[in-house]
Structure 1
């Protein structure tokens, strides 16, 4: 196939946030660069549970696609992700050729034992040319015109860009790539074969440069004929791209029986084909939270799709795409604030704050030929995945100041060191919010000799007071002891508790301690 003979490499900085073309990546490689300071390493979480059901349970991959990416700013409040304990892998996604996750996002993920991937994407006409280039390697400058095709139509296979991409991931501290080829291949089946082989080279280079945990996830797009034909499941048309990859990410428009068909097809494969060992957990069935062609309607109807994927019993994993939906669909509504978004977001992920509260879900409109599935009431995303502990503190010290990565001030030892009315966002400051207290704590009496009622409790984030950071977690408890009603709230700072014998009205008095 003809290739352009002239190389238009931009003057790309060694610390460029992303790369628009592979030529730009070549420009980056010509400059001296060293590993970034302050990026936490990936450390695997401790294994929890030894029974077969826990080991064979599907995983959660979250694919971030928020307003094109790279929207993080320290001078305002923005979308953040705070449910790392249910997630195994996070993809930072944008429509640049090579998407490099920002250091703050990498640290937020690694702090809680989650892998962070970038994206290599080929789109539009320029994407077709670069998809050829990734196989051929670095093109020399030419004054005699474009390169001529070989007589036998075969494709060269250069490790050049596989090595550069692995070096980039190592230098910036992330753990691999989503491979998204959303263009028809100019070289048809011959290029498809070469591309499948190149994936194995990239996989090998990533593991050599980063470690055995490195991943390449193939997105269900182009097929072995070189056509762009989304399959919505694993089958013989996309199998050659899955085999050399770490995992497979299906398109979203699948029908309710496709997850079980995918599992059946996987188990029909000869294990000898698996040059990279695979399990059913390495197949991530896509869910578009925006609901575009998605069974169940997306958003608060995503539980319908999750039920068909069935990560607990069928064992398939889930790729949850576009969770920033919760912000982007609400931000222009009257009364919108970070606090109203947080209530909306946590309802999607962990359920309503009030037990028994009904959650409005979109209507279920089966497509032609689909059964009218009965899915029952809303179920939060977290109900489908186990909560996982962060890395062993012997390997990565554990610290939390209950920060979602935003705030209106910064506190040091309980005193404001910085204040801004516009607020700030910094994913690097994200820590766990306390997984066991959301959406509401579940207290129980210890060594109680009386059948006392369990106190009612609730949890909230406090953005106006903290011991360290920009926020604190407040747990409110209402006690009923021998005719005495006591209400207390634990958070950051100083306070007192109060009880009145025989009082019927409720009075909430803050009782606090340093977080």
Structure 2
């Protein structure tokens, strides 16, 4: 890795150490976990930093484990036919290294801001690395539960990070030796700890980045054996990715290719992330060597550093994913959160972030079916997307995992901004494939000014040329493809939509678009006509039996909507919910035994609480998450938050009207957003 790149990395790590999130006035706030292998650095840690040893960690002694444990299982995925002719189904894949927050002070379950890296383009990822670490804070990072739960819902494994920094930036060789120290039987106790952490926290493996210089051949051999031991002990459910830094000699020598100096680590690991200065010939020889070892060349990630320049990064794409012959390797984005970090200070709103993120992953055309050409070859141009939509019930409210408020059935029940990726829905993977009869395209995107449920909805805007508004070409009728799927339909299957027109919109005729036997051949079912000018939310239940045409079953391969403006004019139509199910939902059973396990008074008179509960004794099907509300005198409810796990931290419970006790209700919410009866607990003031 060249000096400029290393300096940039070091600067980011120093900044991470210098900007911990200010802890809450109490010590109850749970944070994402980070450790040193064993030996702690000398001196006093920076404010807000908790220095801990992984060797000393145990699940029973971890007071934050319940708040950091991911609970959503890793969903199986399939590869639908790509929307364009250049994306490949069985060749290159993508890994991304992303820093969602500083190493220290990263709240376990989201926070009160919408200014957050709410990654949603899971369809193109094969693994996500939870990136971070610094010599002043800790070197081993366990990903927090919201990130893992969101990724797992979309079939993407998440890796924690083990970072051994260069000596010039605080790295100490003893940390490398601590990590790979053997026990009396020749095993590696800290490898066992890494396996135990991954299993206890519910994530999928480790990204190993050893960059501390001064090692020797003994350290190189021990590190190779450590990697092999970690992979073997973790079994098939634990992934290990090795970063191309340490050579088998123990030296730090970035090879930028797979060769004899680093192949022992590749053989020991599942995949290798190649340093960024690769070349065409180097990648070609790397693929040949991988094949000679009985491995796929797509288990090599060709590193692409987008931290500084994002889609303006210069990349020799044809060296990795050539258009006219098989792909040479996979590729790995370093710091894909550039789309968030580089937002201008004048507009750091969530809608602005998603517009930039869509451009990064889908291309400047914002249509993966027509990714176009240019210096930035977006993932959609080369890599086939994947989907987890294979079973019913399925529902989405287009909730991106952050927002400016919280909505329930179209009513705003909380006004504070928030983020919690564990509450994110499965979102459209192809943003945005649009079929229109006119010359113009409608604008499609996530919007945060209103929602049916959660914090966001889908907004489609455009002009019908009947009135030639602003001289623009017609954008309607248009079919917007939303989901690639393999959803089984029966005569009992119904679709539900919650939608509305916005003030100032023309009238809109809405149809559900479903492709059965062929992904590009739609049947359109009328949903209804909405009047001009905005009319509030409308919910529609639509039987799908007419799609089957007498058959006992069929499979929906694509779901979408078609909009028409019968009277012309400007269209602003919002979709808040899309659901498919085979019958009336049965409410899940309520959670069991909610308990306030700790509380403290904040200086402003509010209370900080830790709550836990057990799963329902009566199970009716898969749960999506749990939601917590405060019961306000008079019977109104105030939304406090949600989580996929069985513990939640409330940072500031507000007392109302001098009440002696405040009742908190916990509800289980299933895949159709059907809530259980509440289980209650009281906090006495």
User: What TM-score range do you get, normalising by the shorter chain?
Assistant: 0.7 to 0.9
Long gaps (5+) in structure 2: 1-27, 39-52, 481-496, 502-529, 533-563, 579-685
- For the residue of structure 1 that corresponds to 2:96, the secondary structure is strand
User: CA, structure 1 residues 250+311, in 2 after alignment: closer, same or farther (shift >3 Å)?
Assistant: farther
Q: Is the 8 A contact 1:488 1:509 kept in 2?
A: no
Instruction: Kindly indicate whether the alpha-carbon contact (under 8 Å) linking 1:64 and 1:321 is maintained by their aligned counterparts in 2.
Output: yes
Deviation at 1:192, TM superposition (A): 0.8
Match of 2:78 in 1: 46
* 1:469 pairs with 2:454: yes
Q: Compute the displacement of 1:266 (Å).
A: 2.6
Q: Is 1:75 the equivalent of 2:112? A: yes
For 2:664, the equivalent position in structure 1 comes to none
Task: Specify which of 435, 438, 443 is matched with residue 442 of structure 1.
Answer: 435
Match in the other structure for 2:225: 197
SS at match of 1:217: strand
Find out whether 1:337 has 2:349 as its counterpart. yes
Q: Secondary structure at the match of 2:173?
A: helix
Cα distance in 2 for residues equivalent to 1:126 and 1:335: 37
CA deviation after TM superposition for structure 1 residue 94, in Å: 0.9
Is contact 1:223-1:229 (8 Å) kept? yes
- Distance 1:38-1:118 versus aligned 2 partners, 3 A rule: closer
Q: Secondary structure at the match of 2:333?
A: strand
| Residues 311 and 280 of structure 1, relative CA distance in 2, 3 Å threshold | farther
SS in 1 for 2:285: helix
Cα distance in 2 between the residues matched to 1:236 and 1:343: 43
Q: What is the SS of the residue equivalent to 2:229?
A: helix
Residues 1:323 and 1:512: Cα distance change in structure 2 (over 3 Å):
closer
Q: Is the 8 A contact 2:462 2:572 kept in 1?
A: no
Equivalent residues in 2 for 1:287-298, closer than 5 Å: 287-290=304-307, 298=309
How far does the alpha carbon of each residue in 1:450-489 deviate from its partner, in whole angstroms, 9 at most, with x for none? xx65874220222122111111012336556899989799
Partner of 2:151: 109
The reply to whether residue 310 of structure 1 matches residue 321 of structure 2 is yes
- Residues 459 and 376 of structure 1: CA distance in aligned 2, closer, same or farther (over 3 Å): closer
| Contact 1:189–1:225 (CA under 8 A) maintained in structure 2 | yes
Cα distance in 2, alignment partners of residues 509 and 472 from structure 1: 12
Q: Given the two structures, how large is their TM-score scaled by the length of structure 2?
A: 0.57
What CA deviation, in whole Å up to 9, does each residue of 1:217-263 have, x standing for no partner?
00000101111111111111101111010000011122344322322
Residue 128 (structure 1) aligns with: 173
Counterpart secondary structure, 1:120: strand
Alpha carbons of structure 1 residues 270 and 130: separation in structure 2 relative to 1, 3 Å: same
Partner of 2:96: 62
Distance 1:282 1:482, change over 3 A: same
Using the TM superposition, give the Cα deviation of residue 442 of structure 1 relative to its aligned residue in structure 2, in angstroms.
Answer: 2.7
1:364 match: none
Asked if the contact 1:463/1:471 (under 8 Å) is kept, the reply is yes
SS at match of 2:405: strand
Calculate the TM-score normalised by the size of structure 1: 0.74
- Of structures 1 and 2, the one with the larger relative CO (CA 8 A, separation 6+) is 1
Q: Cα deviations across residues 364-421 of structure 1 (Å, max 9, x unaligned)?
A: xxxxxxxxxxx94443232221110126437xx644221222101111111111112x
Q: Distance in 1 between matches of 2:348 and 2:78?
A: 39
1: distance between equivalents of 2:435 and 2:475? 18
Residue in 2 that maps onto 1:18: 33
How many aligned positions are there? 436
Query: Is the partner of 1:403 in helix, strand or coil?
Result: coil
Cα gap change, 1:157 to 1:510, in 2 (>3 Å): same
- 1:400 aligns with 396
Q: Output one character per residue of 1:417-442: Cα deviation in whole Å (capped at 9) or x when no partner.
A: 1112xx21111122233224x24523
The match for 1:91 is: 129
**Higher share in strand:** 2
Q: 1:189 to 1:335 in 2, by over 3 A?
A: same
Q: 2:444 aligns with which of 459, 471, 486?
A: 459
- Distance in 2, matches of 1:380 and 1:130, equals 38
Bigger mean CA offset, 214-223 vs 118-127: 118-127
User: How many angstroms apart in 1 are the aligned matches of 2:200 and 2:404?
Assistant: 33
- Look up the SS of the partner of 2:315 in the other structure: helix
User: 2:150 is paired with a residue of what secondary structure?
Assistant: helix
Structure 1 pair 456/500, CA: closer, same or farther in 2 (3 Å)? closer
Distance 1:270 1:322, change over 3 A: closer
Cα gap change, 1:56 to 1:166, in 2 (>3 Å): same
Indicate the residue corresponding to 1:214 in structure 2: 238
| Inter-partner Cα distance in structure 2 for 1:464 and 1:415 | 12
1:158-173 paired onto structure 2 within 5 Å: 158-173=187-202
**Separation (CA, whole Å) in 1 of partners of 2:153 and 2:89:** 23
Partner SS, residue 225 of structure 1: coil
Contact 2:122 2:429 (8 Å CA) reproduced: no
Matches of 1:135 and 1:242 in 2, distance apart? 17
For residues 259 and 412 of structure 1, the distance between their equivalents in structure 2, rounded to whole angstroms, comes to 51
The structure carrying a bigger helix percent of its residues is 1
Judge conservation of contact 1:109–1:116 (CA < 8 Å) in 2: yes
SS in 1 for 2:57: helix
Q: 1:179 aligns with which of 182, 205, 208?
A: 208
CA shift in 2, pair 1:330/1:454, >3 Å: closer
Tell me whether 29-38 or 226-235 shows the greater mean CA deviation.
Answer: 29-38
Counterpart CA distance in 1 for 2:204 and 2:337 is: 22
User: What RMSD, in angstroms, separates the aligned Cα atoms of the two structures?
Assistant: 3.8
SS at match of 2:361: helix
Q: Distance in 2 between matches of 1:511 and 1:270?
A: 53
> Equivalent residue for 1:433?
427
Going from structure 1 to structure 2, the CA distance change for 1:58 and 1:127 (only over 3 Å counts) comes to farther
In structure 2, do the counterparts of structure 1 residues 473 and 488 end up closer, same or farther at CA, with 3 Å as the change threshold?
A: farther
